[in-house]
A and B are shown apart, each in its own frame.
Chain A
């Protein structure tokens, strides 16, 4: 029920729409059939001012005049035509010339254009080149810059290193100065220690032997060997015993100091007077 109602109303609306569209199309067609709208309105105003007799008269006069004048006009026209032909002839020549000239000009223009083009190409090339050069230069400058920076850095590092070396050398010199004093003291202690254990009682005079003594930090003697024998067994033995009995020798406990002073191994020549 409801459906039928809707269908009825829809149909009605479609019909109304079609009618509206038709009206719109017809109304559009009317103006397009008429010629320009403004001109007829002005003609209408003038037509009101001129009367038809006067027009007849004028037309008469003009017909009389036209016969005489036509003769004259013809000659004139002929002459003019002649002139025109001459002119035309001249003009043709000029035209040819002009055309040649034009062609020349065109050629010239063409050439100019070519030249221009070539110049432009050349310029572009130059510009490219320049650009390239500039790029290169920029790069070169950049490289140079980097190199200069690297060089500066290197120099700075070298200077730092030199300073460090100097400091190290100074420390070493100071250390060695101290070491020398230390070594002197240790040497004197070793001498005293060995001498006090070296029994020369009854030893034959004029003999000499050389021992190589190896020690560890703290002074313990780990080995005694004969580097050069006196040729006298007792003499050699007394020397060895002196070192062994003196063990531990008065040497530094600190391994670093011990090594630096070269105390791991030393020579002991025994030559009692």
Chain B
């Protein structure tokens, strides 16, 4: 055998296993940031001749769409409308690149209650991811739709859904006599099912949810001076907790619900105080000649961020709840205010002002960069959803101020078409207690 042939054979032996023995391996080290395709098939309605009380598919679809993480298929594009799992033609859905579909049925029971059944299906595996049968009263039926949205959201993103949550906000209407009517309202997170908690001819401001979602703290000017009230949202019972001389504003609940941070100017200029609710004892946190206001608790309850003009213009500062050194957090721009920690504590929403426009921004603590999420002229009062996936805020619309939501990555914007009149200062409530 010649040397050459030997070499070639050796080469063949060397190359050979590359194809034959070793399995081909391709490392996928990146992907794309995409919305998840999902189709919600209209729920089968049975039991009564009249229309179903809730358009389930529409409600769920809107929820998911608003989150910014889903691309919900238009109803007109659905290739089929199966009700049962067995009826699903997976090939058709796969051809459309559809990854997940939701099927369901709403049944009216003889006792006037309802039963909702739904299935979340993984099209490519041809398997059910989740399936539930949920009983509901007429009053709960819409909430049930949001609960289904939450289950879908959690199963497909790994993040707890926040659709079955509520928001509080203030509405302002002009009366015919020129006076104004202020309302503290509470609604589902999608703006439906609004209820008036409190009404006043004097301004109402700054709603803040207790961590258990049972109480709302807010500012009322009903006694001509600002006062901080706490109101039970079920019983309607309300208590004035701060009615000191000067400003009483910007209440914020500690994560454990035992304390309320607030801005008081009873000692001269506005300073941050912490009130121990059980004793109503006050603890002054800031000692500065400038204005310190809009306190926010970090999720771990260890720090408080606030807005201060101590540096010449409004910027955000942070200090320990035990007092001590104050640290400035924002350095970009001439106006950064209204801090709210994200639920995971890694970032903070704020209002970033520049050239007479005010926009919602996110300050990333890891990079110290501010990312602007909105582009309107006057956006204010950002509030995180309890799962951090969205931010609700007030923006200037045709009718004045109205509510809008933006996904935390800024990709999806949605106006919440609510009641007539101005809508201000939304506050996103906590997760509801787990349902039985």
Given contacts A183-B19, A263-B24, A267-B23, contact A273 B29 (CB under 8 A): yes
Given contacts A266-B23, A266-B26, contact A162 B5 (CB under 8 A): yes
Give the segment of B32-40, B175-183, B218-226, B249-257 that binds chain A.
Answer: B32-40
B residues 1-44 in Cβ contact with A at 8 Å? 1-2, 4-5, 8-9, 11-12, 15-16, 18-20, 23-36
Q: Is the CB of B99 within 8 A of A245?
A: yes
Interface assignment of B157: CB less than 8 Å from any CB of chain A: yes
Given contacts A169-B5, A269-B25, contact A195 B12 (CB under 8 A): no
Given contacts A173-B11, A176-B15, A240-B124, contact A201 B24 (CB under 8 A): no
Q: Is the CB of B30 within 8 A of A273?
A: yes
A196 and B18 CA atoms in complex are apart in Å by 27
Interface assignment of B66: CB less than 8 Å from any CB of chain A: no
- Chain A residues lying within 8 Å of B9, measured Cβ to Cβ, are 165, 169
Q: Which of A165, A191, A262 contacts B28 (CB under 8 A)?
A: A191
Contact with B along A163-179 (1 / 0, CB 8 A): 00110011011001001
Give the segment of A50-58, A76-84, A90-98, A231-239 that binds chain B.
Answer: A231-239
In angstroms, how far is the closest chain A Cβ from the Cβ of B406? 16
In angstroms, how far is the closest chain A Cβ from the Cβ of B153? 10
Interface assignment of A216: CB less than 8 Å from any CB of chain B: no
- Chain B residues lying within 8 Å of A201, measured Cβ to Cβ, are 32-36, 69
* Most chain B C-beta atoms within 10 Å of own C-beta, residue among A162, A179, A195, A239: A195
Q: Is the CB of B124 within 8 A of A198?
A: no
Q: Is the CB of B28 within 8 A of A195?
A: yes
- Chain A residues lying within 8 Å of B268, measured Cβ to Cβ, are none
- Chain B residues lying within 8 Å of A263, measured Cβ to Cβ, are 24
In angstroms, how far is the closest chain A Cβ from the Cβ of B430? 21
Q: Is the CB of A245 within 8 A of B28?
A: no
Interface assignment of B158: CB less than 8 Å from any CB of chain A: yes
Q: Closest residue of chain A to B28, judged by CB? A: A270
Q: Closest residue of chain A to B21, judged by CB? A: A262
Count of interface residues, chain B, beta-carbon cutoff 8 Å: 39
Interface assignment of B122: CB less than 8 Å from any CB of chain A: yes
A237 and B155 CA atoms in complex are apart in Å by 11
Q: Is the CB of B28 within 8 A of A232?
A: no
- Chain A residues lying within 8 Å of B157, measured Cβ to Cβ, are 202, 234
Q: Is the CB of A244 within 8 A of B29?
A: no
Q: Is the CB of B32 within 8 A of A199?
A: yes
Given contacts A166-B5, A263-B24, contact A271 B19 (CB under 8 A): no
Q: Is the CB of B15 within 8 A of A245?
A: no
- Chain A residues lying within 8 Å of B24, measured Cβ to Cβ, are 183, 187, 261-263, 266-267
Q: Is the CB of A237 within 8 A of B35?
A: no
Interface assignment of A139: CB less than 8 Å from any CB of chain B: no
A residues 221-273 in Cβ contact with B at 8 Å? 232, 234-235, 237-242, 244-245, 260-263, 265-273
Given contacts A165-B9, A239-B28, A268-B26, contact A179 B99 (CB under 8 A): no
Given contacts A187-B26, A234-B157, A269-B25, contact A166 B8 (CB under 8 A): yes
Interface assignment of A106: CB less than 8 Å from any CB of chain B: no
In angstroms, how far is the closest chain A Cβ from the Cβ of B92? 15
Q: Is the CB of A166 within 8 A of B19?
A: no
**Residues of A contacting B: mostly:** helix
Q: Give chain A's interface residue range (CB within 8 Å of chain B).
A: 35 or more
Q: Closest residue of chain B to A237, judged by CB? A: B122
Q: Is the CB of A266 within 8 A of B28?
A: no
Interface assignment of B105: CB less than 8 Å from any CB of chain A: no
Interface assignment of B156: CB less than 8 Å from any CB of chain A: yes
Interface assignment of B125: CB less than 8 Å from any CB of chain A: yes
Interface assignment of A48: CB less than 8 Å from any CB of chain B: no
A227 and B26 CA atoms in complex are apart in Å by 14
- Chain B residues lying within 8 Å of A268, measured Cβ to Cβ, are 25-28
B residues 335-384 in Cβ contact with A at 8 Å? none
Interface assignment of A180: CB less than 8 Å from any CB of chain B: yes
Interface assignment of A5: CB less than 8 Å from any CB of chain B: no
Interface assignment of B97: CB less than 8 Å from any CB of chain A: yes
* Most chain B C-beta atoms within 10 Å of own C-beta, residue among A162, A183, A241, A242: A241
In angstroms, how far is the closest chain A Cβ from the Cβ of B385? 14
- Chain A residues lying within 8 Å of B156, measured Cβ to Cβ, are 234
Given contacts A237-B122, A245-B97, contact A190 B26 (CB under 8 A): yes
Given contacts A199-B34, A266-B25, A271-B27, contact A241 B99 (CB under 8 A): yes
Contact with B along A182-196 (1 / 0, CB 8 A): 010001001100111
Q: Is the CB of B23 within 8 A of A198?
A: no
A202 and B69 CA atoms in complex are apart in Å by 8
Q: Is the CB of A269 within 8 A of B5?
A: no
A residues 67-81 in Cβ contact with B at 8 Å? none
Q: Which of A172, A173, A199 contacts B36 (CB under 8 A)?
A: A199
- Chain B residues lying within 8 Å of A197, measured Cβ to Cβ, are 32
Q: Is the CB of B19 within 8 A of A179?
A: yes
Interface assignment of B420: CB less than 8 Å from any CB of chain A: no
- Chain B residues lying within 8 Å of A240, measured Cβ to Cβ, are 124-125
In angstroms, how far is the closest chain B Cβ from the Cβ of A187? 6
Q: Is the CB of A166 within 8 A of B31?
A: no
Q: Closest residue of chain B to A265, judged by CB? A: B23
Which residues on B are within 8 Å of A, measured CB to CB?
1-2, 4-5, 8-9, 11-12, 15-16, 18-20, 23-36, 69, 94, 97, 99, 122, 124-125, 155-159
Which residues on A are within 8 Å of B, measured CB to CB?
162, 165-166, 169-170, 172-173, 176, 179-180, 183, 187, 190-191, 194-204, 232, 234-235, 237-242, 244-245, 260-263, 265-273
- Ordered by A's residue number, 13 sampled pairs between the chains whose C-beta atoms are within 8 Å are A169-B8, A172-B12, A176-B16, A190-B26, A194-B28, A198-B31, A199-B31, A199-B33, A199-B34, A200-B30, A204-B158, A268-B27, A268-B28
Q: Which 7 A-B pairs have the closest CB atoms?
A: A198-B31, A200-B31, A266-B24, A244-B124, A166-B5, A169-B8, A267-B25
Knowing that A169-B12, A196-B32 touch, tell me 16 more A-B residue pairs with CB under 8 angstroms.
A166-B5, A173-B8, A176-B16, A180-B18, A194-B26, A194-B28, A198-B30, A200-B32, A232-B158, A234-B155, A237-B122, A245-B99, A269-B25, A270-B28, A271-B28, A272-B31
